Structure 1
Amino acid sequence: MNQLPKSWSWVSIVELLDKNSNGKPFQQGWSPQCHNHPASENCWGVLKTTAIQDGEFWGHENKELPESIEPRPHLEVVKGDILMTCAGPRNRCGVVCFVKKTRSKLLMSGKMYRFRPNSTLLDSKYLEGFIRSHQAQRAIDSMKTGISDSGLNLTHGRFSELMVPLAPLSEQKRIVAKIEELFSELDSGIASLKTAREQLKIYRQALLKHAFEGKLTEQWRKDNADKLETPEQLLARIQTERETRYQQQLEEWKQAVKDWEAKGKEGKKPSKPREFKEIELSDHVFNEGWLAVNLGGISNVTGGLTKNQKRNSYGIQIPYLRVANVYANELRLDEVKTIGVTVQERETIFLEKNDLLVVEGNGSIEQIGRVALWNGAIQECGHQNHLIRARLHNASYAKLILYFLLSPVGRDFIVNEASSTSGLHTLSLTKVSNILEPVYDLLSNSAKKAK
């Protein structure tokens, strides 16, 4: 143990607690079968473990006790209690909070217990602060028992062995006051950071809006007026790029057919690539000299893998992206799952760097159509059917199209396509293909610089 100041001492927690109504220092709750909704103010409720957060009590996290079940008032949580979770995943077992205030008729569940310090020896907030400390949490973690991290227990007997650094009561109160003062400063700093983040978000959206109104490149266009492609020249170049891409796909298909025939025509014959649809120009005007084309005219828009039980038995398992992995201009790859695929799917499903990924549907209109650019971080990675992939015929367009879809102007097009008469909002391959995109000579200039 760490050396303490002279007036301090290490004392077992059980020696510093008052006895509960059960005559013991720790009192565990009760887990009856409850309704799935929170209890109203005049009804009894049983707390869920999520009511206990690190240093915070969330009384709204409860389930209503049915009227047919007699409540147990001696398990009611009151102001001044210290509550701790005693069962659950490793990161949720041993979480503690001091109850600063609470409504009446809330009962502890069987996965938590409470304890009350002897007020002549120990300040409740001091004890809560110590238990939340890294030192105490390491000690508590070693006390947990169970077969796996997904389901651990913290028994009264083992927790009672926790040693507490006991300072004089007056000094405990000064320590608590100083902690609260510093936490208040931290909270103010966090609030300022949140405000700054929101302001940056507004600035970012304003910047994107100006970009796709032509304001950011207005001077560049004036300086290069004699070098700019006309809309007709630009359209011709896009069509040439499309044809080049299609011919490349044809050659790849012919080779795949030869390989299939060489293997005795085992499995399904590779499918011939479809010819690209004609580019449909819109009369929408983004800016003078810019073309308005559908995303489907400058990319291949495709769906992904549909998850089902049968895929669990497939011999080929690959990593794949889900909706949970794709956010606005952000890929969250800390949890990537695997899925079974057929040999034929394996040849076509893999993502390529600079593929655009669009979220098909979401309960929130603000979240539908979230879009990010695949960065190639995972080799041979697929995607689920709720993510729509757009593979641009010219990959140098990718970031421009991404930023447009993130801009207020692009978001408006996405939302309009996602809307329906039923009030539901969802995207499909056709709807994503129909989203208008601005194409202009700046792309040609960027491509030349890249070369």
Structure 2
Amino acid sequence: MIRIFEEEKVPKTWEVINLESVCEINPKLNKSNYQDDLQVSFVPMPAVDAESGKIDVSGIRSFSQVKKGYTAFQKHDVLFAKITPCMENGKMAVVPAVTNGLGFGSTEFHVLRAGVGINPHFIYYFVSSKIFRVQAEHNMTGAVGQRRVPAPWLSAEKLPLPPEKEQHRIVAKIEELFSYLDKGIESLKTAQKQLKVYRQALLKYAFEGKLTEQWRRDNPYKLESAEQLLERIKQEREEHYFQRLEEWKTAVETWEENGKEGKKPTKPRKPKDYSPLTDEILKSINELPIGWKWEKLGWMSTGVGYGTSAKSASDGSHPVLRMGNIQQGKFVWDDLVFSSDKDEIEKYLLNPGDVLFNRTNSPELVGKTAIFRGEKEALFAGYLIRINHSQRVINSQYLNLYLNSYRAKQYGNSVKTDGVNQSNINGDKLSNYPFPYCSIDEQKIIVSHLEQKLSSIDRLEEDLKQNLLKAYVLRQSTLKKAFSGQLVSQDPNDEPANKLLKRIVRKKAQIEAEAKADKAATRKTTKRQAKLNN
């Protein structure tokens, strides 16, 4: 079993014990001591941040509202999220001062109440460490999606216990080092946000025609009017349709000559005509330079097609790209499924330059896109839409980049249909996207400029990601040193942990004796009152 410490290497003044030896796990509350109208703090699961240890106790409820169905806690208790994925994400915290000394929260919290001589922050840093959480995950029980860390496992898990004074020194050192780390992490995350803003600002600038202002001045002979461009696009659509129609007729003849074996080839649909963009939409989007025009995306394509809904296999002749294979505007070739069905391959085989649009996904991911670049023959699955466009008039990367711009995402959010944890943008809605088109020559220049600048942003983002990872690793290595006795020096004058444990045992015995006496006194009072009533 991997632990954050090696038992045989802990300092001699430390002791390795079970958590329940120094913490009360899920302590009970004597509810008869509280009035129903008492105001108490209330902490739902979202009020505890992942990883940071921050907790919001500003919520207020009356005792009557929370005395049933919630978990009670008090100042200095450690809250430990026991359910997946909250536990794995690090939703743990030390409870600060709470209203009237009492708080309640989700029943998905375990409560660890540190005993005498135990620093609760020492316990928090131990149970919130990545290695501890990995062990907790391996010991979860329950159904998928509802797995929980059982209290008996938590109680029995080993803790390396230093002397009381050394606990305080360790906590102080951790907090000092984490303070520096947190400032660095905050700066890195700020830089990440700024890069995202810059990326979108760059795309906005490009698709307003501002990135190529000088190019248009230098190349007036390459410019066409927006109306001429649209006519040429419509002509391309017609030619593409008639070409596919002829191919279909040939395929039908071949099918008939072969005795009509297999399915009859599907006749291509005639390209759909689209109504103009409404005045309301045109007013909501920016004006474009001469030679540019806003039109519905449907005019730029010969149609949109959904992918295969047939069940795929774990192996086969052709990989089937799914929505999970689209990452950051590109295809990743892992976690693949396959098909060997000839009819499916003929119908859904991708062509280099095809732009695929994710029509169904979580609200924040629906609408992500990628270009198929012909790395290998592949099909596409049903949650993806292929935008059938002529690359002679619409550059694939121009289309791909525009669909990832803030303007396109904003429009997608306005038309998507929301369900439980999923959103959908169907083919008709996609075809109605406002699209800023210009000449193919200018599109290529825009793509060239954007790819150069975006690749620089990608490199910077990767650097930031790696630095954040290093900071995270440093954080975990700091905790490993802390719980191995290597973060601060040992002081021979400190009371050793074995004496601390004896104090804890004596205190527990005292508390249990007092509780027993109180219980007996309560029973005696109850009996006396009953006699008086009779």
2:226 aligned with 1:221, yes or no? no
d(CA) in 1 for partners of 2:131 and 2:153?
16
Deviation at 1:12, TM superposition (A): 0.8
Q: Could you list the runs of 5+ residues in structure 2 that have no partner in the other structure?
A: 1-5, 30-36, 418-422, 449-534
Deviation at 1:220, TM superposition (A): 1.9
Aligned to 2:17: 12
In structure 2, relative to structure 1, the CA distance for the partners of 1:344 and 1:44 (3 Å cut) is farther
Aligned to 2:269: 274
d(CA) in 1 for partners of 2:345 and 2:224?
40
Give matches, 1:371-410, under 5 Å.
371-375=368-372, 379-384=378-383, 388-394=385-391, 397-407=395-405
In structure 2, relative to structure 1, the CA distance for the partners of 1:280 and 1:163 (3 Å cut) is closer
Aligned to 1:422: none
CA contact (8 A) 1:90 1:152 kept: no
Deviation at 1:261, TM superposition (A): 3.8
Deviation at 1:177, TM superposition (A): 1.7
In structure 2, relative to structure 1, the CA distance for the partners of 1:306 and 1:76 (3 Å cut) is farther
In structure 2, relative to structure 1, the CA distance for the partners of 1:66 and 1:215 (3 Å cut) is same
CA distances 1:272-307 after superposition (whole Å, capped 9, x unpaired): 112335698989862223355432222133253698
Deviation at 1:314, TM superposition (A): 11
Aligned to 2:73: 77
Give matches, 1:205-244, under 5 Å.
205-228=200-223, 234=229, 238=233, 241-243=236-238
CA distances 1:102-159 after superposition (whole Å, capped 9, x unpaired): 56451563x5533322232x311112212333454455556x2658876656445544
CA contact (8 A) 2:312 2:339 kept: yes
d(CA) in 2 for partners of 1:274 and 1:330?
29
**1:298 counterpart (297, 300, 306):** 300
In structure 2, relative to structure 1, the CA distance for the partners of 1:155 and 1:319 (3 Å cut) is same
SS class of match (1:269): coil
CA distances 1:413-444 after superposition (whole Å, capped 9, x unpaired): 6678779xxxxx98554443342431215257
CA contact (8 A) 1:84 1:95 kept: yes
TM-score (norm: length of structure 1): 0.67
In structure 2, relative to structure 1, the CA distance for the partners of 1:263 and 1:41 (3 Å cut) is farther
In structure 2, relative to structure 1, the CA distance for the partners of 1:256 and 1:182 (3 Å cut) is farther
Report the identity percentage.
29
Give matches, 1:10-409, under 5 Å.
10-14=15-19, 16-18=21-23, 25-27=24-26, 53-54=50-51, 56=53, 71=68, 76-86=72-82, 88=84, 92=88, 96-102=92-98, 104=102, 106=104, 109=107, 112-120=109-117, 122-137=118-133, 140=136, 144=139, 146=141, 154-228=149-223, 234=229, 238=233, 241-243=236-238, 245-254=240-249, 256-258=251-253, 260-261=255-256, 264-265=259-260, 268-277=263-272, 286-302=288-304, 304=306, 321=322, 330=329, 347-349=346-348, 352-358=351-357, 370-375=367-372, 379-384=378-383, 388-394=385-391, 397-407=395-405
Whose relative contact order is higher, 1 or 2, with alpha carbons under 8 Å and at least 6 apart? 2
Greater helix content: 2
SS class of match (1:211): helix
Greater displacement, 206-215 / 426-435: 426-435
d(CA) in 2 for partners of 1:350 and 1:258?
22
Give the number of aligned pairs.
414
CA contact (8 A) 1:351 1:382 kept: no
**1:432 counterpart (402, 418, 430):** 430
Aligned to 2:500: none
CA contact (8 A) 2:38 2:62 kept: no
Deviation at 1:179, TM superposition (A): 1.6
SS class of match (1:119): coil
CA contact (8 A) 1:51 1:61 kept: no
SS class of match (1:249): helix
When Rg is computed on C-alpha atoms for both structures, the one with the higher figure is 2
CA contact (8 A) 1:404 1:410 kept: yes
Deviation at 1:90, TM superposition (A): 11
1:302 counterpart letter in structure 2:
V
d(CA) in 1 for partners of 2:298 and 2:442?
18
In structure 2, relative to structure 1, the CA distance for the partners of 1:2 and 1:399 (3 Å cut) is same
CA contact (8 A) 1:326 1:370 kept: no
Q: Could you list the runs of 5+ residues in structure 1 that have no partner in the other structure?
A: 19-24, 31-39, 420-424
The CA RMSD measured in Å over matched residues stands at: 5.4
In structure 2, relative to structure 1, the CA distance for the partners of 1:42 and 1:264 (3 Å cut) is farther
In structure 2, relative to structure 1, the CA distance for the partners of 1:436 and 1:374 (3 Å cut) is closer
d(CA) in 2 for partners of 1:301 and 1:52?
46
In structure 2, relative to structure 1, the CA distance for the partners of 1:90 and 1:51 (3 Å cut) is closer
Greater displacement, 282-291 / 338-347: 338-347
CA contact (8 A) 1:93 1:153 kept: no
SS class of match (2:80): strand
d(CA) in 2 for partners of 1:371 and 1:154?
36
Greater displacement, 175-184 / 426-435: 426-435
CA contact (8 A) 1:93 1:152 kept: no
2:390 counterpart letter in structure 1:
H
Greater displacement, 329-338 / 398-407: 329-338
1:175 counterpart letter in structure 2:
I
In structure 2, relative to structure 1, the CA distance for the partners of 1:92 and 1:215 (3 Å cut) is closer
1:383 counterpart letter in structure 2:
G
TM-score (norm: length of structure 2): 0.58
In structure 2, relative to structure 1, the CA distance for the partners of 1:268 and 1:150 (3 Å cut) is same
d(CA) in 1 for partners of 2:57 and 2:401?
40
d(CA) in 2 for partners of 1:68 and 1:413?
43
